[in-house]
Amino acid sequence: MARALRFRFSRDERLKYLAHLDVLRLFERALKRSGLPVSYTQGFNPRQKIVFGLPMALGLTSSAEYADIEFDEDITPETFISRLNQALPDGIEVLDAVPLLKKGSIMSQITSAKYEVSFDVPQIMDPDEINGIVISFMDNEDITVMKKGKSGSKPVNIRPLIYSLSARKADGDGYVLDAFVSAGAENNLRPDLLMKALSQKTGLDLSVGSIHRRAMYASTFNEWKDPFEVAND
């Protein structure tokens, strides 16, 4: 039992077009319906004490979303998962949770993410040929694209933000790009920008079908770790 938990949840095709603020409201309403003893901030506009790891862009699905939540009394992960899932709508589900005993926001800990991007090209190409193009793309030391920031768009070399990249044949038609990239509050590389850069640099006419976030990681002592592993480090 614990007064704070870190939990992982999934979001499927049915809710992939919800904006991050809508997700916040969804959880706020679900937590109220669940009757869970969630802690609130003080002041004129009290808010539930819940912090999400990395806001997800519109149109993505995920099996690896994380958040931290605080309570006014001790609660077990099993009770939290069961009661919140009963109050959540179809398309979103809490998968697991662990006690959070150490202070430290999940938002500041996330530094990388893995994505699966399904895509197609107009011409028939062997998967090895596609992967060879991806490998050549990774050989570039400079992959500069226009990246939007708080002060507007500016040219950014995203190559240091790409840790690994490979392509394979999809189970059905098309291909899948497995991407391991920088993520988080700083140096966040969105997968749609990565695909745009890949198309521009290689000349491939890529048609993106879906983007799925498969994992998120924290970095401690030059080692990638699951957010649950660093919950109490």
Same-domain check for residues 72 and 172: no
pLDDT at position 102 is 76
Same-domain check for residues 201 and 132: yes
Asked if the model's pLDDT at residue 165 lies above 80, the reply is yes
Asked if the model's pLDDT at residue 149 lies above 80, the reply is no
Structure tokens at 80: 């939290």
**What is the number of structural domains in the chain?**
2
| Whole-prediction pTM | 0.92
Whether residue 182 contacts residue 163, with contact meaning beta carbons closer than 8 Å, is answered with: yes
Which helix (H) or strand (E) covers residue 3, if one does? strand 2-11
- Residue 23: which CATH number? 3.30.70.580
State the residue for tokens 């706020």: 28
pLDDT in tens, 183-219: 988 889 999 999 999 999 999 899 999 999 999 999 8
Reported as a pLDDT band with limits 50, 70 and 90, residue 112 is: very high
More confident call, 104 vs 58 = 58
The residues facing 149 across adjacent strands are 152
Q: What angle separates helix 77-87 from helix 20-34, to the nearest 10 degrees?
A: 110
Q: How far apart are CA 35 and CA 139, in angstroms?
A: 53
pLDDT in tens, 22-38: 999 999 999 999 999 99
Same-domain check for residues 82 and 21: yes
Same-domain check for residues 6 and 45: yes
Asked if the model's pLDDT at residue 150 lies above 80, the reply is no
pLDDT at position 146 is 87
Do the domain assignments include residue 106? no
Report strand pairing: 144-149 vs 152-157: antiparallel
Residues in the chain, overall count: 233
- Please name which of 94, 39, 30 lies closest in space to residue 67, comparing C-alpha atoms: 94
Same-domain check for residues 210 and 130: yes
pLDDT in tens, 46-87: 999 999 999 888 999 999 999 999 999 999 999 999 999 999
pLDDT at position 153 is 85
Same-domain check for residues 74 and 7: yes
Same-domain check for residues 51 and 122: no
Tell me which residue range forms the domain holding 36. 2-101
Do the domain assignments include residue 125? yes
| 104 Cα distance to chain centroid | 19
Same-domain check for residues 82 and 19: yes
Do the domain assignments include residue 233? no
Do the domain assignments include residue 232? no
